[in-house]
Amino acid sequence: MTAASNSTIDPNSGFSPRTKIFHSLRPSISIPPSPLPRYIFSLLSSSPSAALIDAATSRRIPLSQLPLLVQSLASNLRRKFNIRKNDVAFILSSNSIHIPLLHLSLLSLGAIVSPSNPLSSDSDISHQIRLTSPVIAFATSSSAARVPPLREGTVLLDSPEFEALLLPSTAKFDPPEVFPDDTAAILYSSGTTGRVKGVELTHRNLVAVIAGARAIRAARPSPPVTLCVVPFFHVYGFSMCLREVALGGSLVVASAETRRGRRMDLELVFGAVKEFSVTHLAVAPPVVVAMVKSAVAEKYDLRSLEVVLCGGAPVANTVIERFRAKFSSVALMQAYGLTETSAGVARPLGSIESEVKGSNGRLVSNCQARIVDPLTGDSLPPLRPGELWIRGPVVMKGYAGDKEATAAMIDAEGWLRTGDICFFDENGLLFYVERLKDLIKYNGYQVAPAELEDLLLSHPAIVDAAVIPYPDDDAGQIPAAFVVKEPGSAINESEIMDFVAQKVAPYKKVRHVFFTDTIPKNAAGKILRKELVKLVLTHTASKL
């Protein structure tokens, strides 16, 4: 029985006029009360072709070998480093086929996995370690020097020492008792709206993610092959590397740092698609933008590719249109989620949902949502934008060591305030509008930067763009654009402002343009607007 079968709920939108709550239209699922590793191994595929695959070296680890490898690694970690339940393990590494093994081994010990971006600043790394008090770190030879001394030291994932830890252990391994509400992972929020926080996700949170994906995954003649270039330290990549293993597909692992200069190396991405017959490609939005603007794809046989999965930040509608025109046989599926919701809380299912431009699909199983007017606190019906609130089994346990921030994020009834302006349509599809804090307030009007960015990206001379609020004595704030031009383009500020002015209402016009070589973004492709705002304020102050 689905959540929408209740007579008070609209079967098309999932909205209840009585409670003003949107309900998931997906099948309700039972969430097994088992620890995450046990649940994953209970599902593990016996397909001889399913494997973890290193995109750079073609090394394969068959999924059938995972239970033995995980048990050996867990046993050796306990014996050599005395890792116990609730110990935190800090991981500072780019993507590797060792990461899923490490995660599952640590979780089997009841330890807490805490992966971090190896490109984080030293101050952020120090702050994260103060938040979580890890007893051991796992890093690479390029990142280990940035980890301060810990009780059990730092293990290099790219060393013979780690390979030796994968060898069978003679010690008997008795896993500790782990409960559904025990913390499994502490992931770090992006910090785009304040100081970085440690997001505690439980075993139940992550089991719910996998169980929900399993309930809607369609049968296939052969297991899918997913190429993941999304970093495993981000909730998107973290959940994907566990989910794909659990659901029996091959996972081709590529470093999220596969770049030449500042742009993703599409030659390596498309080469891996061809070499490993990839069916699903998991990327962040900047890669989708690069795909539509690059001619590299024409050099490769991409016939195996069925779906491009995208999350972490919105993709502009203009980019979606160009993607569909260029890759007509490939579905582009955008999900919506937060670190605080254990990754995707809404995602499209099938070609019909994925073809609705700008949609993030429907709510995942067992979840509810409200759309709340930020000014009045009223819950809104379909087609009315407001702040998205989420409730369900994927909502985090809280922020590590920060009860005040947790209480500000999750209310007494379990509703998590996302801080995002969204709306649902009459078919229960979710549409993202903008971050509540990013809306530009111009003479009392609200302007969504994402709308203007979408328009700017439609210009053939513009490679990338970001729009921010610019202080103005009369209007309060005015839209200002940072623009990356196509190499060799002579487009100027007035031409860009005229281009926008012809297509938007007067209050939405861009009134300043700054040219830049790159738009700052986090690992998931989200624009770091506060860095641009800081740059503008510094520039303005220096002229006074």
Q: Which of 137-151, 213-227, 524-538 has the highest mean pLDDT?
A: 137-151
Predicted pLDDT of residue 193: 44
- Work out the angle at residue 417's Cα, subtended by the Cα atoms of residues 414 and 418, and round it to the nearest 5 degrees: 130
Mean pLDDT of the chain, nearest integer:
90
Decide which of 313 and 412 is more confident.
412
| pLDDT beyond 80 at 2 | no
The pLDDT tens digits of the residues spanning 355-392 come to 898 899 999 999 999 999 998 999 999 999 999 999 99
| pLDDT beyond 70 at 161 | yes
| pLDDT beyond 60 at 275 | yes
Predicted pLDDT of residue 374: 92
Say whether 462 sits in a helix, a strand or coil: strand
Predicted pLDDT of residue 190: 58
| pLDDT beyond 50 at 82 | yes
User: Is 365 within 8 Å of 215 (Cβ atoms)?
Assistant: yes
DSSP lists the bridge partners of residue 534 as none
Q: What is the dihedral of CA 431, 417, 399, 244, to 10 degrees?
A: -30
Predicted pLDDT of residue 1: 40
Region class of 259: left (phi > 0), else alpha (psi between -120 and 50), else beta? beta
| pLDDT beyond 60 at 542 | no
Side chain identity at residue 241, one-letter code: C
Average pLDDT on 489-505 reads: 93
Decide which of 399 and 533 is more confident.
399
Q: How far apart are CA 82 and CA 72, in angstroms?
A: 14
Average pLDDT on 470-490 reads: 89
| pLDDT beyond 70 at 543 | no
Predicted pLDDT of residue 258: 44
Q: Shortest CA distance to 398 belongs to which of 343, 336, 340, 344?
A: 340
Predicted pLDDT of residue 264: 60
Strand segments, DSSP code E, in 93-209 are 112-116, 136-139, 154-156, 183-188, 198-202
Decide which of 502 and 443 is more confident.
502
Instruction: Give the pLDDT band (50/70/90) at residue 285.
Output: confident
Helix %, strand %, coil % of the chain (to 5): 30, 25, 40
SS3 readout for 357-404: CCECCEECCCCEEEEECCCCCCECCCCCCEEEEEECCCCCCEECCCHH
Q: Which of 184-198, 217-231, 244-258 has the highest mean pLDDT?
A: 217-231
Q: Shortest CA distance to 73 belongs to which of 37, 35, 34?
A: 37
Q: Which of 109-113, 292-296, 531-535 has the highest mean pLDDT?
A: 109-113
| pLDDT beyond 60 at 260 | no
Average pLDDT on 478-491 reads: 93
Decide which of 443 and 43 is more confident.
43
Instruction: Give the pLDDT band (50/70/90) at residue 192.
Output: very low
| pLDDT beyond 90 at 6 | no
Average pLDDT on 435-455 reads: 85
Predicted pLDDT of residue 524: 74
Q: Enter the pTM of the model.
A: 0.86
User: Is 7 within 8 Å of 17 (Cβ atoms)?
Assistant: no
Query: Domains, the chain, ranges and CATH?
Result: 439-542 (3.30.300.30)
The pLDDT tens digits of the residues spanning 343-354 come to 899 999 988 888
Predicted pLDDT of residue 119: 84
Average pLDDT on 316-320 reads: 88
Instruction: Give the pLDDT band (50/70/90) at residue 485.
Output: very high
Average pLDDT on 112-127 reads: 90
DSSP lists the bridge partners of residue 371 as 388
Predicted pLDDT of residue 218: 83
| pLDDT beyond 80 at 3 | no
Radius of gyration of the chain from its Cα atoms, rounded to whole angstroms: 23
Average pLDDT on 52-76 reads: 94
The pLDDT tens digits of the residues spanning 396-412 come to 999 999 999 999 999 99
Tokens representing 539? Answer: 């520039």
Q: How far apart are CA 20 and CA 371, in angstroms?
A: 8
The mean-pLDDT minimum among 138-142, 292-296, 299-303, 520-524 falls in 520-524
Predicted pLDDT of residue 259: 41
